[in-house]
Structure formats: structure tokens, C-alpha cells
């Protein structure tokens, strides 16, 4: 919910100055960096690494395609207000992204720690708080 809220606030901030689709895209990609750290530290309790950071956009590409397609269809075809369409599209995309992000951040067959013992860490993984994904 935190990431969705951050995305939506960014979207609303950009919306008066950009066309709705450009505001959606800018907010999406900016919130993706924050989402990576929220997911690694809190949702999956794993250590952030450069490898995971570089792979993280892969499930988010799916999220972006599902959400942006949903926003377009809702605004252009269903005539939903472009201030609210991203929230409706997110309701469909979030479960899909959750499953794909979990695979990237925890790896297949690794335990909940899923962290790397190599020196590619992006920061300390000392914060351990349970937070619900997006």
C-alpha cells in the first residue's frame, strides 16, 4: 500500500503538468526505485544487491504493461476519470507483480533470507519490520 500511495501521489503531482499517460509513466518509474527497497527490506526481508536491483524492473515491466494498458482502456474507452483510472488498473496488476517480484527478490529454492553473501550488497539489511506489499 505504501508504494501504491507513493505512486499515486506522484501521479497526482505530475498530472496537472503532463498528459495523463506521461504523468503515469513518470510516477511509475520513480516509485519503482522506492518499491525495490521497500520490497527487499520489509516485504521479503532480503538483502538488496545490485543483481536484484537490475533484475527488479523485469516483473515491473509486466506491472507497467498491465497498468498502462488498463489506464488507457479505462480512460479512452470506458471514459473513467484519468485521476482515478490508475488505482483501478493497479488492483489488477498488484497481485501479478507481487508473485513475479517474490521470484526475483527471494530466488527459486532459497529461503526467506535470499540474500547474497557476496560483496554486491546495496545496503544493510538490519531493519526487519513486516510490511504488506504495495
Q: What is the pLDDT of residues 105-131, one digit of tens each?
A: 887 534 444 444 444 556 544 444 334
Q: Confidence band (pLDDT; 50, 70, 90) for 93? A: confident
Contact between residue 105 and residue 49 where contact means Cβ atoms under 8 Å apart: no
- For residues 10 and 65, what is the distance between their CA atoms, to the nearest angstrom? 19
Contact between residue 119 and residue 47 where contact means Cβ atoms under 8 Å apart: no
- CA-based end-to-end distance of the chain: 4
- Average pLDDT score, the chain: 82
Q: What is the pLDDT of residue 108?
A: 56
Q: What is the DSSP letter of 118?
A: S
Contact between residue 74 and residue 80 where contact means Cβ atoms under 8 Å apart: yes
Q: What is the pLDDT of residue 89?
A: 93
Q: Confidence band (pLDDT; 50, 70, 90) for 101? A: confident
Please give the residue that has the higher pLDDT: either 33 or 14: 14
Cell of 21: 499517460
**pTM over the 0.95 mark:** no
- For residues 21 and 19, what is the distance between their CA atoms, to the nearest angstrom? 6
- Segment 46-62, tens digit of pLDDT: 999 999 999 988 888 88
Amino acid at each position: 500500500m505504501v508504494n501504491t500511495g507513493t505512486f499515486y501521489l506522484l501521479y497526482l503531482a505530475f498530472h496537472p503538468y503532463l498528459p495523463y499517460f506521461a504523468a503515469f509513466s513518470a510516477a511509475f518509474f520513480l516509485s519503482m526505485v522506492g518499491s525495490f527497497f521497500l520490497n527487499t527490506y520489509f516485504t521479503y526481508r532480503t538483502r538488496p544487491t545490485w543483481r536484484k536491483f537490475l533484475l527488479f524492473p523485469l516483473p515491473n515491466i509486466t506491472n507497467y504493461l498491465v497498468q498502462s494498458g488498463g489506464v488507457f482502456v479505462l480512460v479512452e474507452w470506458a471514459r473513467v476519470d484519468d485521476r482515478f483510472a490508475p488505482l483501478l488498473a493497479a488492483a489488477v496488476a498488484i497481485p501479478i507483480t507481487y508473485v513475479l517480484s517474490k521470484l526475483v527478490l527471494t530466488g527459486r529454492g532459497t529461503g526467506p533470507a535470499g540474500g547474497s553473501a557476496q560483496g554486491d550488497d546495496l545496503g544493510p539489511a538490519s531493519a526487519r519490520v513486516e510490511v504488506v506489499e504495495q
